[in-house]
A = this chain, B = another copy of it.
Amino acid sequence: MSAEGVRARVRAEMTEEIKTVARRHLATDGANLSLRAVARDMGMASSAVYRYFASRDELLTALIIDAYDAVGEKVENAEKREKGGHVERLLVTAHAVREWALENPHQWALIYGSPVPGYQAPVDTVAPATRVILLIARIVQDAYEAGAIAEQAAITGGYADELARVAQQFTPGTPPRLVGAAFSAFIHLCGAVSAELFGQLNNSVDEDRRGYFEFQMRGAAAFIGLG
Contacts and interface: CB of A to CB of B under 8 A. Distances in A.
Interface in A194-213: 194-195, 198-200, 203-208, 211-212
Interface in A55-101: none
A190 B180 contact: no
Contacts of A207: 158, 161-162
Contacts of A216: 184, 187-188
Contacts of A199: 115, 121
Given A121-B199, A208-B158, A187 B188 contact: yes
Interface stretch (A3-11, A26-34, A140-148): A26-34
A166 to B, nearest CB: 5
A86 to B, nearest CB: 18
A162 B195 contact: no
Interface in A122-165: 126, 129, 155, 157-162
Interface stretch (A14-22, A35-43, A106-114): A106-114
A56 B78 CA distance: 43
A219 B158 contact: no
A223 interface: yes
Contacts of A162: 204-208, 212
A161 B211 CA distance: 11
B166 A204 contact: yes
A189 B216 CA distance: 12
A187 B181 contact: no
A20 B214 CA distance: 41
A191 interface: yes
A133 B109 CA distance: 23
Given A29-B118, A126-B203, A161-B208, 13 more contacts: A30-B115, A30-B118, A109-B114, A112-B200, A113-B113, A115-B198, A157-B208, A162-B204, A187-B188, A187-B191, A187-B195, A189-B191, A190-B195
